[in-house]
Structure 1
Amino acid sequence: MPASVSPRQARPVDHLVLPTASLDAARERLRKLGFTVAPEGKHPFGTVNVCTYLADGTFLEALAIGQRETCEHAAIRGNVFVTRDQAYRFRNGEEGFSALVMGTEDAKADHSAFVKAGISAGKILNFSRAFVTPDGTRDKAAFRLAFAADLRAPDVFFFAVQRVRVPAVDRSALQRHENGAIAIREVVLSETNPTDFQYLMQEIVNERDVNAHSFGMDIRAANANIAVLTPAGLKAFLGAEAPQGRGLRLQGVVFAVHDLEKVEGLLSANGVAFEKRSARIIVHPAEGQGATFAFEA
């Protein structure tokens, strides 16, 4: 590699966006799965969320519509986040898994890179919102988002998020979970022919190395694996059925936990159906849980 060319540095997975019809349902479902859930957050463009934070710095964002009229006005004004959320709900219903979010230190540079690569989904979004911890501590968080998408895959979108202002609060209590989850180990997508989307995923993760195999392909983000599996691979690894038709779909997430036996006991006690597959415990989607969740030690 010429000295003038800088090597790529893979982006980390930041969080996952899981649309839901009801934050109450999502909160209750996550609680039964053994997760600690943060207080409700409100976006200035009409959506609301509850988040589940993990010790590795990643999190889940259960997203609902708070003020529909505000969302519609934001979409008209070109807010890509709201527009893509509305499109996802129209095509797939109120429960699901719509976006993979990568972390970045420079969303403006990422936006330029997405434009150059031909995968930009629209203009940058800057916004801030209040942040409240369980003990009532308040602060403000500010973000800058750069979006990417592929017209061949209308049911998934991606963005890189830069934390322009980080709340000065202690999240340690929110990162402790009864199920012992400590990290997102893998994010799983599906597609009939995964390598058709190899270039897109390389640009999203900012990583050239791809491990292609008989069930699909893996791309390593800075902190987790991104797997794009064929329908057969999805069935083999997660026991899930791929939807009909072409296009990338976000399907599941694999969590690293301390003790699988503890997870099994907790799920049984809470009446949550699960299956054991290889060294994983798998919980299939339900109201408030739009993706397949897998737990492994």
Structure 2
Amino acid sequence: MSADSHPPRSDMEIEARALAVGKWANLFMAVAGIVTALLSRSDAMLVDGLYSAVNFLSAIVAARIGLSIARPANRRRPWGYDFDEALYVTFRSMILIGILLFALFVSLSKIATYLTGGAVPTLVFGPIAIYAVTIVLICAGLAFSYHRAYVATGRRSAILQTESKAALIDGAISLGAGGALLSLPFLPGTALEPLIPIGDALIVVILVALIIWQPVKLFLRSLADLAGISAPPATVAAVARRTRAAALETGFRYLRCAVLRAGRSHYVAVYLDPQRPVTAAEIDAFQSRLRTALDEAIGSLRLEVVVTERRGPETKAASLLP
């Protein structure tokens, strides 16, 4: 027996509105970053602009993903579209990691050029000041908008969580790069004066080292979802507790459960031994009650109820299952 539970339409609408605002804000920041990079000759500003460009394209894809995961299962996708969200987060994180590594490579190349006696371009600071202040304010507003939508939808949307963190990272890049670049004119006469020509490159290296762990963490989490690795122990334990309680009330013997995470949703299979003859209607009623209980505990899910007398596929492995 199977059953599905999905976020209500209002949650999808809240997510869509937040993503729409983010899409156009990121387009503005992307254009502003690239223009500022050309005017100021700053690699840090170029990285910031490219980061926003990726966020703009991602917001378009995210909106489509948000709609697709609400679609019911069909003949083409018998298990539904929930894993599209995990797929999106995986590739989104890979692109962000790629941009940061590209920025690191460019900056290290500039440092190497300077250390070997090559010429590096002189920065123009005027455009940087205007850009930094504007972008930091926009990113702060975006991060707040995404987080508010994330909370309003029950803290279950991996898309909104990812975009909120991306906005914070973008703002951190702008704040750190802008503030550090604007401090360079004050370094003559200090011990750091020799670093002025490569200050832009050094700032990028520091920023990459500080923030690259965030997309890496998201990538590993979404990759685990796609690989079919079990949901976090706390989630599995919550499912096991509620299933065991529901089974005890009905007189069934609870055997085990399996839980996979797919973005904001979960795939749950529970294994029961009724220990007596039962009708399909009884199993359906049990499934309906359990789905309600699990929806309150872990959010939207697809639930399978498997009637069997076996503890697990393998005796040794089964002893480790909840």
Confirm or deny a common fold (TM above 0.5): no
Q: Which has the higher strand share?
A: 1
Q: Which has the higher helix share?
A: 2
Larger-Rg structure: 2
TM-score, normalised to structure 1, is 0.27
TM-score, normalised to structure 2, is 0.25
